[in-house]
Chains A and B, each alone.
Chain A
Amino acid sequence: MPDGLIRRAVRAGRRLMACAAFAALGPAWGGVALPFDVVEAAPGLFVHTGRHEETSQANRGDIANVGFIVGERCVAVIDTGGSLAIGQALAAAVRRATDRPVCYVINTHMHPDHVFGNAAFAGGAARFVGAASLPEALAARAAHYEAGLAEALGDAAAGSRIVAPDLLVDDRLRLDLGGRALVLQRWPTAHTNNDLTVFDEASGTLWLGDLLFDERIPSVDGSIKGWIAVGARLREQAVSRVIPGHGRIAPPWPAALDAQSRYLQQVAASVRAALAAGKTLRETVDAANPADADGWLLADAYHRRNVTAAYAELEWE
């Protein structure tokens, strides 16, 4: 088939798909009350804990940890949840906690469960902040992510959209919330190629995003070798508490990180052993057992995929 035709067909198909999703819209979802709790993990630092589930109509993409930090002048939101509805619930939680405006919306990385609530904060004065590699990563995936969300949420996906960052972090960036400074650090490719952490100097809290998974199985969408290496550097950070992208608020540190690193190292070791034995990708993935991901939630859905990603990366060693 000629390429031009194919691309036109794909584009038209996407448009039709989007139309179908929106045409079916019934009453707005805004009227449905969401159970959406935030916990003040440190003074002025609020966290909402996402569920350990796949995105569904029932949870509306409320599967990642999101939150906000309140300064004397304004508020920084950190990640926005997996749909507009979750972003709106988070915005309401901000308003309950303070009357100061949101001046920054920080995305720790590109994944849908962390960014699809951005639209709830768009159109105002807030700047959207992300790693310098985030815009390109989002641009390449937006259509794919939006189609996936429409499939998972149906009507409840309406209004959720990718909002790209307009303030980029090359390496390190200091944000002032008025008497409260946040230090944003970009990391080499690990969980993704656009991981960003947020350090709140006032409370000594390091917000790790998905550089740390607690309870829920880590998913490799960047580089398993890179993630292990970044983990070793994170371990050296002097912090009083951490917030993972998934799991408990302020899990034991560095024990939670060590558990994650053990899992990643175990996956890498098993894949290297398979490569050394001349095993193919198929043989290696078939031999991988989610039971090997001992104690991690959702291992059935992600362990073999992690092995696949690790194989594709490590076969080039």
Chain B
Amino acid sequence: MRHLLQWLLACCVAGSGAVFAAPDDAEANAVWRQLRTGLFGERAIAAADADTLVLEAPARAEDAAIVPIAVRSRLDPTAARRVQTVWLIVDGNPSPVAATLHFGPASGRADVETRLRIEQYGFVRAIAELDDGSLHMATRFVKASGGCSAPAGKDPAAAAANLGRMRLKVEDMGGALRRAQLMISHPNTSGLAMDQLTRLYPKPHFVRQVTVRYRGQPVLVAEVDFSISENPSFRFLFRGDGEGELEAVVVDTEDRTFQTRVPVAARADGG
């Protein structure tokens, strides 16, 4: 409960124009200290080196409702150390754990781009857990505000009409690794923008799980929430040896399931 109060406090201080946590103060953030204990207990968390994990985020977001971010690891999945899971956390959001990304054997490298809603100035952080159980964190301070309580869509009627539409595209990168992008048409509503007519908060309705497989082998299993922007987009790597089928299954908070699949041709070099 204490972290809720602290979040609340942060929110109110923000309203009166007080200073936010300074960018070099990533460890001190109260929300993070609570989350850290809840998610990782007393385990040590190292500062990630550039090979293990890089977090890309703009210093200032153009639109707080659609902030592009990426987590990338250069660790080779066939080597002894590989990334199993990445937690993506937005300290200042009402529900700070935006995504938990599990990388399967077909993932190639842990490398995911997506877009976040960011409620207030603060840290975005990515924590990678490796095979050996070690934890590694990368942080970025992002100036953005109002992404969660801002209304989800510019055109709710169009969003409702397109709900569940999906796109799955594969790029041939000329090697064993291929890049794919999954796009899901979904309002991903937070339920945090109050309806002034009814004085009610609309029910949250968002994508909660994304599972991608190649030839039946897990590539990426993502547990996500409304910190992911409207029309969630995930761009990721997979090990696309030979020909096969890439398949995505998406489940939302109303337990609606959406599926799409795309055939993947063998590479020109025969790999």
A-to-B contact residues, CB < 8 Å: 1, 3, 5-7, 9-14, 16-17, 20-21, 133, 135-144, 147-148, 150-151, 162, 164, 189, 192-193, 221-223, 278, 280-282, 285-286, 304-305, 307-309, 312, 315-316
Q: Which residue of chain B is the closest to A189 with respect to CB atoms? A: B155
Query: Are B58 and A280 in contact (CB-based, < 8 A)?
Result: no
Given contacts A281-B68, A304-B62, contact A141 B150 (CB under 8 A): yes
Assuming A21-B15, A150-B15, what are 18 further A-B pairs, CB within 8 angstroms?
A3-B204, A9-B5, A9-B7, A9-B94, A13-B8, A16-B12, A133-B157, A140-B195, A143-B193, A143-B194, A147-B146, A151-B17, A193-B156, A222-B155, A280-B113, A282-B68, A285-B62, A316-B162
Query: Are B70 and A20 in contact (CB-based, < 8 A)?
Result: no
Q: How far is the CA of A142 from the CA of B198 in the complex (A)?
A: 12
Contact with A along B1-14 (1 / 0, CB 8 A): 10011011001100
Q: How far is the CA of A26 from the CA of B242 in the complex (A)?
A: 72
Query: Are A17 and B197 in contact (CB-based, < 8 A)?
Result: no
What is the CB-to-nearest-CB distance from A187 to chain B, in angstroms, rounded to a whole number? 13
What is the CB-to-nearest-CB distance from B9 to chain A, in angstroms, rounded to a whole number? 9
For A164, list chain B residues within 8 Å (CB). 196-197
Query: Are A144 and B149 in contact (CB-based, < 8 A)?
Result: yes
Q: How far is the CA of A13 from the CA of B150 in the complex (A)?
A: 15
For A13, list chain B residues within 8 Å (CB). 7-8, 11-12
For A280, list chain B residues within 8 Å (CB). 68, 113, 235
Q: Which residue of chain A is the closest to B17 with respect to CB atoms? A: A151
- Give the contact-size bracket for chain B: 35 or more
Given contacts A17-B15, A281-B68, A305-B62, contact A143 B94 (CB under 8 A): no
For B58, list chain A residues within 8 Å (CB). 282, 285-286
What is the CB-to-nearest-CB distance from B163 to chain A, in angstroms, rounded to a whole number? 13
Q: Does B183 count as interface, using CB distance less than 8 angstroms? A: yes
For A312, list chain B residues within 8 Å (CB). 66, 229-231
What is the CB-to-nearest-CB distance from A189 to chain B, in angstroms, rounded to a whole number? 5
What is the CB-to-nearest-CB distance from A280 to chain B, in angstroms, rounded to a whole number? 6
Q: Does B76 count as interface, using CB distance less than 8 angstroms? A: no
Query: Are B94 and A315 in contact (CB-based, < 8 A)?
Result: no
Contact with A along B74-110 (1 / 0, CB 8 A): 0000000000000000000011100000000000000
Q: Does B48 count as interface, using CB distance less than 8 angstroms? A: no
Query: Are B56 and A140 in contact (CB-based, < 8 A)?
Result: no
What is the CB-to-nearest-CB distance from A90 to chain B, in angstroms, rounded to a whole number? 23
For B115, list chain A residues within 8 Å (CB). 281
For A138, list chain B residues within 8 Å (CB). 196
Query: Are A17 and B12 in contact (CB-based, < 8 A)?
Result: yes
For A305, list chain B residues within 8 Å (CB). 62-63
What is the CB-to-nearest-CB distance from B268 to chain A, in angstroms, rounded to a whole number? 18
What is the CB-to-nearest-CB distance from B243 to chain A, in angstroms, rounded to a whole number? 22
Query: Are A20 and B155 in contact (CB-based, < 8 A)?
Result: no
A-B contact pairs, 10 of them (CB 8 A): A10-B94, A13-B8, A141-B150, A143-B196, A147-B146, A147-B149, A223-B155, A282-B56, A282-B58, A315-B183
Q: Which residue of chain B is the closest to A313 with respect to CB atoms? A: B154
For A148, list chain B residues within 8 Å (CB). 146
Query: Are B62 and A7 in contact (CB-based, < 8 A)?
Result: no
Contact with A along B33-63 (1 / 0, CB 8 A): 0000000000000000000000010100011
What is the CB-to-nearest-CB distance from B91 to chain A, in angstroms, rounded to a whole number? 13
- The 7 A-B pairs at the shortest CB distance, nearest first, are namely A17-B15, A140-B151, A282-B68, A142-B196, A13-B11, A139-B196, A304-B62
For A308, list chain B residues within 8 Å (CB). 62-63, 66
Q: How far is the CA of A112 from the CA of B150 in the complex (A)?
A: 13
Q: How far is the CA of A198 from the CA of B74 in the complex (A)?
A: 58
Q: Does B218 count as interface, using CB distance less than 8 angstroms? A: no
Query: Are A5 and B4 in contact (CB-based, < 8 A)?
Result: yes
Q: How far is the CA of A307 from the CA of B63 in the complex (A)?
A: 10
Q: Which residue of chain B is the closest to A226 with respect to CB atoms? A: B155
Q: Which of B56, B95, B146 contacts A6 (CB 8 A)?
A: B95
What is the CB-to-nearest-CB distance from B27 to chain A, in angstroms, rounded to a whole number? 21
For B192, list chain A residues within 8 Å (CB). 6-7, 10
What is the CB-to-nearest-CB distance from A271 to chain B, in angstroms, rounded to a whole number? 13
Q: Which residue of chain A is the closest to B194 with respect to CB atoms? A: A143
What is the CB-to-nearest-CB distance from B114 to chain A, in angstroms, rounded to a whole number? 10
Q: How far is the CA of A21 from the CA of B12 in the complex (A)?
A: 10
Query: Are A144 and B4 in contact (CB-based, < 8 A)?
Result: no
Query: Are A1 and B68 in contact (CB-based, < 8 A)?
Result: no
Q: How far is the CA of A150 from the CA of B95 in the complex (A)?
A: 24
What is the CB-to-nearest-CB distance from B196 to chain A, in angstroms, rounded to a whole number? 4
Q: Which residue of chain B is the closest to A282 with respect to CB atoms? A: B68
Given contacts A3-B191, A140-B195, A316-B185, contact A20 B231 (CB under 8 A): no
Given contacts A138-B196, A144-B193, A164-B196, contact A17 B11 (CB under 8 A): yes
With most chain B CB atoms within 10 A of its CB, the pick from A1, A137, A164, A309 is A1
Q: Which residue of chain B is the closest to A3 with respect to CB atoms? A: B204
Q: How far is the CA of A201 from the CA of B156 in the complex (A)?
A: 33
Query: Are A221 and B154 in contact (CB-based, < 8 A)?
Result: yes
Q: Which residue of chain B is the closest to A18 with respect to CB atoms? A: B15
Q: How far is the CA of A312 from the CA of B66 in the complex (A)?
A: 8
Q: How far is the CA of A136 from the CA of B151 in the complex (A)?
A: 11
Q: How far is the CA of A20 from the CA of B16 in the complex (A)?
A: 7
